[in-house]
Every structure is written in structure tokens, then in C-alpha cells.
Structure 1
Amino acid sequence: MTSGPVGEQAEAELIAAVDAAAGNLTLNRPRALNALNTFMRAQMAEAMKKWAADPEIYAVVLAASGGKAFCAGGDVRELLNWVRTDPAKARQSVADEYRLVWQIDCFPKPIVALIDGLVMGSGAGISMFATHRVAGPNYAFAMPETALGFFPDVGATVFLGRLPGAVGTYLGLTGERIGRADAFRLGIASHCIDREHYPSIMKGLAAAEVVDPLLDGFHADPGPGPLATRRDAIDRCFSAADVPEILARLEAEKAEHRDWAQAALEKLRRASPLSLAVALRQLREGRALGLKAALEREHRMTVNHMASPDFAEGVRALLVDKDGAPRWRHAIDGVAQSEVEGIFAPLLDGELALPARPQPPVFQE
């Protein structure tokens, strides 16, 4: 049995439907690269709360319409508008986004994200904590927030911070895109399955087929990705103590890794120096944090960072005027430690306090 969309705007932006034992959530803003807005997050949270308690639902599927993007991030224009006109609403929207990520991580049933196309920012937030993350042939993962004058959030403290060596630092600072071969090797994707098999996966989940053998049957090993040949250079350069030293090490790279190093330098020089310093500290210090603590910390950082002129300037340069020439307030070596400290400072009020992870029921014979 299939039920229709939830909410007045759902048909245009999010489709939440039940197909027998599967709850299906489809992002439906293809012209906006399925960017998540506040309405969509609210509808996702509502549907998942209902399905978590429904004994007839075996699994949830996260999918997207259009072929270019699973989800290219959050609707940053919406957020910036609220920062300027209604700061309380902006803070509420941010808190609700982190609550949704925590809700996904705590969901008591399988969640299968079918990802073919761009997955960035908020798109990573709603998919990285799914139990199964299926990468199609057009899969492209990135966390490009430093170029927007922001930092990688929505749980990136955990899913980037725990990557091997300095790979998470490299991806978080440069915003580099990786394909499904690298994502699979890093554990960012759990399976590599071509899009033509997605209807069969959804049919199987609707019939409550056991998820792991179902996905394993369609998985094809993608082979090694390009990062494998650069791991030594990534670890050598991005293990440096601070951002200026990372740049110095990249500038010293020669021979086989010189072109890669120059491309990384170009990305870092386009990014906000403040955001780079914040992200480096975030990912280094956050490796030992659980997701709950990481999200609560990221909420604090976001509230403090939203007022930064760099965020507004990054959105202007990349998304509004699209001149690609942000005018940052600092040089790479000119970021004061006190300003970085201010991003991590406790809030005077309105700290996010997520609920404890629900404990599984204990059955007694």
C-alpha cells in the first residue's frame, strides 16, 4: 500500500510515502539540486518519528529526484536571510537540523540512502548516519563549507574527523570532491550499486527482505580510487600543526605529487582563512567525541559563526553574485587565536541539548 505525501508543500519539495514495509523519503527539488530547507527537514523528522513506532515499517529509504544531485547541501540563502531578518528563527532552524541528524543516527530500523550524484553539506548530514549508504556511478561527495566562509558541520566532526590519517582534514579544509571508489574505501559509502538496480532495492525493502544480503547482491567493487596514490602526501602535508604550515608543506611538494599539491593550494587560498583555522581545530579536537557531543558543539560553533562577515561574504561571492571572488577579512597567517576561540565559546543562552540515545528493549525469557 502506498500513501501520499505528508504536508501541504510536500509534493513540491519532499515526498514521504509508505510502500508496504518501506517508508520512502524522496527529496524533490531537482532545480535547486535538492537543497534541504527548513520545511523539508521538518517533514522528514515527522515521518521518521511516525515510522520508528510503526511495527509494519521495516526500513526507510532516502532517495532523490533528478539525476544531478542527491542533495547539494542546505538552503544557505534561506539561512542567511533569517540571520539578517530573524536571528531567532535562524538559530531554531540550525538546532532543528542537528536534531534531525541525531534522530537519523538513533533511528531503530535500517535506513538506506540511495545516492547518485552530488552529496554535500546537509546532504551528507542526512545520509552519512544512515545504516547503509549506496553510491551510484555519478556519486560525488564533498564538504565545501570553507569556501562559503563556514565550516564542515552536520556531524562532519565525526565522519571526517575519524577518517584515516589526515584524509578528513584534507577533505574538510579543501572541499575536494571524491567519487564512489574513494568513498567506498574510506567507509563513507557502504555499497557501490548502479542506479538501474535502485527500483529492485526499493521493491525488496518493501517486501521486508533482509537489507544486508539484498544490497550485497547488487554491490560491485569499484576498485581503487585516486586518493590511494596520494595518501602519503596527504598525511605528510595535512598533519601539520596549523594552516600556514599546511600551505608551506604543500608548496614544498615536488615530483609526482606537485600537481595535486598545487590544486590543493589553490582551493585553500580561495577559502576563508578564519574558516580554515576553525575547521582544523574542529576536526583535530573532535576525533574523540561521540556524535551527540559533536552536534551540540557544532551547534554552538554555528550560532557563533553565523554572525561572522565571512559567512555572508562567501554566500554573496559563490551563490548570489557568483563572481567567485570573496573578500575575506584575514590573510592565511593573520587569523587571531582569540577569534577562533570565540567560535568555540559557550553560548550565553540557547545551548543545544540533545536527548540521550534510546536504549534498546531488554527481552527476558
Structure 2
Amino acid sequence: MSLTTITSIYRLRSLCRLQRIQGHMMSSQVEPEVLLEKVARAGVITLNRPKALNALNLPMVRQIYPQLKKWENDNDIDIVLIKGAGVKAFCAGGDIRAVTEAGKVGDSLAQDFFREEYILNNAIGSYRKPYIALIDGITMGGGVGLSVHGRFQVATEKTLFAMPETAIGLFPDVGGGHFLPRLRGKLGLFLALTGFRLKGRDVQRAGVATHFVESKKIPDLEKDLVDLKSPSTEDISRVLDTYQNQSDLDAEKPFVLEKHVSDIDRLFSSNSVEGIMQNLKADGSEFANKQAEVLSKMSPMSLKMTYKQLQAGASLSLQDVLVMEYRLSQACMRGHDFYEGVRAVLVDRDQNPKWKPSKLEEVSEQSLEQCFASLGEKDLTF
């Protein structure tokens, strides 16, 4: 065999190998990030980024929103179901890293992502057909926005709910200013400021989910929901209630915050975040000390912003809350703490953010007011 022939064979093999690699890369890219299917008389949305815990990005928002609007006016669609692919997450939040990179360089993604995500949140909140979110797994931030504003939310023992934004210099957005202050007592404010995690049945007990169903029963539940013929809200409630009644896992366990509910109402009743910190330090109980320690690590700017957001949001419609939150999102994009928080928690993971300002009392009323100020023609509109 001549040297030329051997060289040709090697080249051919290399070319084939390269084509295989490219083919594999192409096939992995082709996998859609959202699956939008019509199953019987149901529209089914599957968030399909399991390796990224189904984190929500702008292309996904841009696929879900028009399809939702289309189904809303489709006489062949009775209900809409949304779920996450894989076994770990419904949706672990928005694609924060992409937004961070965009914000640093002044790319329009930092405006577009929040704007279009909030418009989607509003569409879910005002949806004319029953919207059912199967939150089987991690449900945080943007994932909460995709679920909590709909008619039904079904939690399982795998559900992990949190709004941990104050730890990254952000605030509990996606309509957090609407649903959190409507939870009982001061529970919503507590969850918003501390980022406290609720698991399984406790997500329903807190009022974040409407139902609790064991994870293994979810495929059967989904089938029964899809098979319903022209269901009323009551028909859907009946199916969900039936499955909930068959799910006795952890039923005997008390709500994780049961013995602290009155403490939370008392300690988090103050007209300022500084007042809450004073209450916690003065109380001296193990629970109060733990919450004071948690809050001391959060962005002071975020804490004050969040407190004011929930105070205002308690009496606003979801639409008005989202307009307010869009202003806040853009204030965070202009500021320091969001980039520093993402660096410390998600990039370098040193868990040691250097907040500016570093103390609650250094956050001026004027700087806070600026965060809530109108953006004029750049304000969010629906």
C-alpha cells in the first residue's frame, strides 16, 4: 500500500470522525428547549433543558408566549398543562448568567428578557382557560413565575420552592410582589427576605401550590386531566382533589414553620427592614438569631427594595406589580449588587459578596426611590 493511499485513508477517517462529531453536535443542538404539543384537548408545554434544570431563557419565553395566546383562542383546546423534563426540576429559575453578561456590556437582553418574561407572567395570570402547573422538582425564581399565577399548581415530595433573589442582589420578581404579600400573615415577607426553602407538602401548606400529589402518580394524573372532555374548573378540581386524597406521603408531618408562624408574624411586623433586624436581635431565640444571621448576608439594597416591593404590591393588580418590578429589574441592571451577587454565588462561588452599600442604614431613601421611578417610554406596557 502506497504512502499516498495510507495518507488518504487517514484523511478519510479523520473526516468521518469530524463529521460524526459535527453530527452529534448538530443533533444535541436540534433538541428543542421547549416542547409544545396538543394532546387530545389539552395544550402541553414541556420545559426541555433538564441538564440546565429547565432554566428559562429568552428563546423559550418567545416560544411559549405566542403558543399560549394561540391556545387561548383555540376551540379545540380546553386546558393547558406545563411541566419540566427530567427528574430534578420543574424550572430552577431564569437564565441569570446570560442576563448578567448582557447587563455588563449594555446588551439589550438585559431589558428584553425581563420585559418578555413579565409579559408571559401576566398572560398566565389572566389566562381564560384552566392552566395547570405540575411543579414536580426544583421551582425557583422564573419557575415560580411560570406556575404560581395560573389556576392550579401541583406540588410533589420532590418540589423545592424558594425565591432566593436577595442573596444575589436581586428581588423576588416574576410577580413575587403580587403573590407573596397575599400569603397568610407575614409569611410572604419572611420567604421574600430570607429566601427560605419550602419542600414537598409544605409548598401547598404555605399557599404557594393548590394541591399535593405524590410524584409517582403525576403521569396518571396528567393522563386523566388530558382525557377530560370540556372540563369546568370544578371538574379539574375534582380530579386533583382525588389524587391528593390518595397521596398520604408526609401527611402526618406538621408544616415546617408551624411552631414559628406566630414568631414570624411578630418579628417581621415592622415599618422597615432595620426594624425587623432589631426585632430579631432583641428576641434572642434560636429561630430569630438564625434569621438575623441569614439577613445579614443578603444585599442591603435588595432587602430594602424587596420590603418596599411587597408593601406596595399588597394592594396592586398583577399587571401593576409587573410594571413596578420591571422598573426594579432595570435598576438592578444599572447597579452593583446584582453582578457582585451572581459572581459570589454562581460564578466564583466564594459565597462572599461585597455589597455596596454594605449596611442597611447606608441605603438612602433617595436611591431606593430611584429604583421605583418611572422609566418613561421604556416602562413595561401590556
Q: So what's the TM-score if we normalise by structure 2?
A: 0.86
Aligned residue runs from structure 1 range 203-242, under 5 A: 203-208=223-228, 210-219=235-244, 220=247, 222=251, 224-242=254-272
Aligned residue runs from structure 1 range 66-145, under 5 A: 66-145=86-165
Structure 2 letter corresponding to 1:190: T
**Which runs of no fewer than 5 residues in structure 2 stay unpaired?**
1-27, 230-234
Question: What CA deviation, in whole Å up to 9, does each residue of 1:270-298 have, x standing for no partner?
Answer: 11000001100111121000101111111
8 Å Cα contact 1:114/1:135 also seen in 2: yes
Counterpart of 1:3 in structure 2 is: none
- Give how far 1:78 is off: 1.0
- Give how far 1:266 is off: 2.1
The question of 1:264 aligning with 2:291 is answered yes
Counterpart of 2:40 in structure 1 is: 20
Counterpart of 2:308 in structure 1 is: 281
Distance in 2, matches of 1:11 and 1:103, equals 26
Aligned residue runs from structure 1 range 211-360, under 5 A: 211-219=236-244, 220=247, 222=251, 224-254=254-284, 258-330=285-357, 331-354=359-382
Structure 2 letter corresponding to 1:236: R
8 Å Cα contact 1:21/1:205 also seen in 2: no
- Give how far 1:138 is off: 1.4
Counterpart of 2:13 in structure 1 is: none
Q: Which secondary structure state, in structure 2, belongs to the residue aligned with residue 165 of structure 1? A: coil
Q: Which secondary structure state, in structure 1, belongs to the residue aligned with residue 37 of structure 2? A: strand
1:65 to 75, 85, 89: 85
Question: What CA deviation, in whole Å up to 9, does each residue of 1:238-290 have, x standing for no partner?
Answer: 11221122112111224xxx222222122211110000011001111210001
- Give how far 1:10 is off: 7.5
Q: Which secondary structure state, in structure 2, belongs to the residue aligned with residue 112 of structure 1? A: strand
- Give how far 1:172 is off: 0.4
Structure 1 letter corresponding to 2:104: R
Q: Which secondary structure state, in structure 2, belongs to the residue aligned with residue 230 of structure 1? A: helix
Q: Which secondary structure state, in structure 2, belongs to the residue aligned with residue 70 of structure 1? A: strand
Distance in 1, matches of 2:338 and 2:30, equals 29
Paired-residue identity, %? 39
8 Å Cα contact 2:81/2:132 also seen in 1: yes
8 Å Cα contact 1:26/1:65 also seen in 2: yes
Question: Aligned Cα RMSD in Å?
Answer: 1.7
Q: Which secondary structure state, in structure 1, belongs to the residue aligned with residue 82 of structure 2? A: strand
1:173 to 167, 177, 193: 193
Determine which structure has more spread, i.e. the larger CA radius of gyration. 2
**Which runs of no fewer than 5 residues in structure 1 stay unpaired?**
1-7, 355-365
